[in-house]
Structure 1
Amino acid sequence: MATSPSNQPIRSISLPSRPHPLVPRIDEHLSRLTSLDSEVEVSSTSESQISSLGHKLNNLKELYDVLVDFILLPQNQQKLVQLSVAKCVDELIDGSLKLLDVCGNVNDVLSQTKEHTQEIQSSLRRRSNGELSIGDEVIAYMNMRKKTKMVCKKCLKDVKGMTKKSISLGEVENDENFATIDVLRKVEGVTAAIFESLLEVISGTKAQTHKRSASLSIIMCKLILHQNIDIETEEEVCVNEFDDVDSSLSSLTISQKRRICINGFQAEILRGKMVKLDSSVQDLEEVLEGLFRCLVRSRATLLNILSQ
C-alpha cells in the first residue's frame, strides 16, 4: 500500500541569507580603492601623485554615496539603534568628526597654497623680461609651507591612529549583529589611509621622483650657476608638484644669498612649475569639496538615526 504524501515528513530547506545588493557594491568600491593603492606603487613614475590621489578621492566620494544608502536601510537603522550605547558606535562617531576636521584642514592648506602660488606667478610675469631675485612673495610662500607642514603633521598623527584602530578592532567581526558596524569601520579605515597618503604628498614626506632624475635642487643650482645650460626636461620628471616647487624655491633662496639672479628663461621654467602646482591644487580642491559634503551627510545620517 502506497504511503500517503501527507504522511511523509516535510524536509525544511535552509537557504543562506543573501546580502543586500548595496553590500557587494560597497565591497567593490573598497576593493577598487585597495587596488588603486597597489597600482600607484607600480605605476609609471611620470604620473603625478596628485593626479593618482585625485582618482582615489573621486572613488572615495562614490563609496560614501553608496554608504549613506546602506546606512538608511531599515534593518541597518534598527541595528544601529540597538547598538547605540556600544563603544564601537561611539568610536565611529568620533572618527567621522576627525575625518571631517582633517578634510577641512586639507582644504584650508590647499586654499592657502593656491593663493600664494598665484601671487608668485604674478610676480614672475611682471619680471619675465629682466633678472629675477627673490621677492617677498617667495618668502611668504616658504613661510606658508612651514606652517602648513605643521598642520599636515598633526593631521597625519590623527589619521594614522584611526588606521591602526580600524585594523586592530576585530573582536566583533564574527557577530552578525555587528556586520553593519564592520562595514562602516572598513570605510573609515580606507578613508583614513587615503587622507594619510594625501597629507604625505602635500607635506613632502612621501616624495617620489623618476629614477633617471637628479636632485631638483641640484638641477636648479645648475640653472643658476650656468646660465646657458641646456635642460633635458623629459628625463627629469618630478611626480610631486609640491616637492618640485619647494625644491626650486629653496634653490632660488640659496642663489639670492650668493647674490646670483636667474634670467628670464629660467624664471619662465619656474613659472611653469607654479602653474602646474596651481592646476593640481585646483583639481584637489574641487574633489575634496564634494567629499567633504559626503562626509557631512554620512555623519549627519548616523547621528539622526542614533538620536531616535
Structure 2
Amino acid sequence: MASTSSSADDNHHTRSTSLPTRSHPIVLQAQEEIQKFKQWEASVSSVPTAATICSALTRLQVLYECVDSVLSLPLTQKALTQSQYTELVNELLDKSISLMDICGSTRDLVSQVKENARNVQSALRRRKGEVSLTTSFIKNLKKDAKKAIASLKQIDEKIGDMKPLDLDQHLLSAIKVVRDVGVVRSSVYRSLLLFLSGSVEKPKPTRWSLVQKLIQKATMERNGNLEISNDDMVCLFQEMENGLDCMFRSLIKTRASLLNVLSR
C-alpha cells in the first residue's frame, strides 16, 4: 500500500489560543495507534495483497474507534459547540456523507467480486468451463473502481482546500487525529480499489485483475491446484466485506458525534 502522510495537515494549522502542557490521554492513545499503523504499513510490501488489505481494514477499524472516542470527549464536544467552529463541523459532516458513499460503493464492489468468485467456483465443480459475462463483469469492475478512486481523490482535495482555523490546543490535536486517520483511510481504500481492478503494478508485464487470474488458472488447469483455492478466495472477499461493514458503522458513529455537536 502507499505510504501515508500527514503533510497536508500542516497547511491547516496556524496558531493555538491556549497551550496546555499535555494532550488528553485519549488523544495521545489515538496518536499512538496512528503511528503504529504507519509503522506496520511501512513494513508491508508496496504491492497490496488480499491478506494485507484484510489486515489493514482490521487495523483501520481501531483507528476509527479512536476518532469516535476523541470526538465524543466532553472537552471536544464543548469546544466544537462554539460558533466559530460551526463551519468546521459542517465540513466534517459533508465529508462523512461522501465517505459513507465511497465505503458503501466499495463494499458493493467487493460483494460483486465475491459473488463472481462463487460463480467460478460453482462452474468448476460442474466442469462447465468459464463463467458467462466474465469479460463484461471485469470491465464494469474496473470502471466502478476508477470512479470510486476519483471520488476519493476529490474528498482528499477538499481537505486540502479547508481554510486555516484558529483552534485551541485540544481541538487542534483532535482535528489532527481526524485528518491523520483520513490520510490512512484514503491509502487503504485506494489500495483495495486498485487491487480489485487489477491496476496495481505487477512484477510481470501482464496485468490481471484478481478475478481474471482466478478464471484463467481455473480454465487452464481444472484440477484445483490454484495458488489460492476458490474457497480461500471467497473467504478473503467475505473478510474484506465484513471489514467495510465495520467501517460503514464507524462512519455512522462519527457522523452521530458531529450531529450531537450541532444539536446543542
Please, what TM-score do these two structures have when normalized by structure 2?
Answer: 0.79
8 Å CA contact retained: 2:27, 2:70: yes
Instruction: Report the Cα offset of residue 133 of structure 1.
Output: 4.5
Tell me, yes or no, if structure 1 residue 73 matches structure 2 residue 94: no
* 2:154 equivalent among 116, 137, 161: 161
Q: Distance in 2 between matches of 1:84 and 1:174?
A: 10
Write the deviation string for residues 59-93 of structure 1: whole angstroms up to 9, x where unpaired.
11112222222212111101111157543322211
Secondary structure at the aligned position of 2:44 is classed as: helix
Whole-Å Cα distance in 2 between the matches of residues 276 and 249 of structure 1? Answer: 14
**Which residue of structure 1 lines up, in the alignment, with residue 209 of structure 2?**
243
In the TM superposition, what is the alpha-carbon distance from 1:301 to its structure 2 partner?
1.6
**Which residue identity lines up with residue 33 of structure 1 in the other structure?**
F
Pairing partner for 1:192 from 153, 170, 186: 186
**Among candidates 291, 294, 301, match of residue 247 of structure 2:** 291
**Cα shift at 1:269:** 3.7
2:60–2:185 Cα contact (<8 Å) kept: yes
Aligned to 1:34: 38
The whole-number CA distance in structure 2 between the counterparts of 1:145 and 1:300 is 37
Match of 1:237 in 2: none
Q: Which amino acid aligns with 2:118?
A: Q
Count of equivalent residues: 245
Separation (CA, whole Å) in 1 of partners of 2:36 and 2:166: 22
Counterpart of 2:106, as a letter, is V
2:21 counterpart of 1:17: yes
Flag the 1:58–1:33 CA change in 2: closer, same or farther, 3 A.
Answer: same
Unaligned segments of structure 1, at least 5 residues: 1-14, 218-241, 253-260
Looking at structure 2, the residues matched to 205 and 276 of structure 1 have their Cα atoms a distance apart, in angstroms, of: 22
Inter-partner Cα distance in structure 2 for 1:166 and 1:190: 14
Q: Please name the residue that 1:301 is paired with.
A: 257
1:145 shift after superposition: 2.3
Amino acid at match of 1:156: I
- Distance (whole Å) between structure 2 residues aligned to residue 52 and residue 76 of structure 1: 33
- The worse-fitting range, judged by mean Cα deviation, of 184-193 and 280-289 is 184-193
> Max radius of gyration: which structure?
1
Higher relative contact order (CA 8 A, sep 6+): 2
Note closer, same or farther for the CA distance 1:251–1:57 as it changes in structure 2 (3 Å cut): closer
Gaps of at least 5 residues in structure 2 are 1-18
Q: Distance in 2 between matches of 1:173 and 1:191?
A: 26
- RMSD in angstroms over aligned alpha carbons? 3.0
Summarize the Cα distance change of 1:82–1:56 in structure 2 as closer, same or farther, 3 Å threshold.
Answer: same
Matches within 5 A, 1:120-135: 120-127=120-127, 133-134=129-130
Q: What is the Cα deviation at residue 124 of structure 1? A: 0.7
Cα displacement (A) at 1:170: 7.3
**1:181 and 2:175 equivalent?**
yes
Match of 2:99 in 1: 99
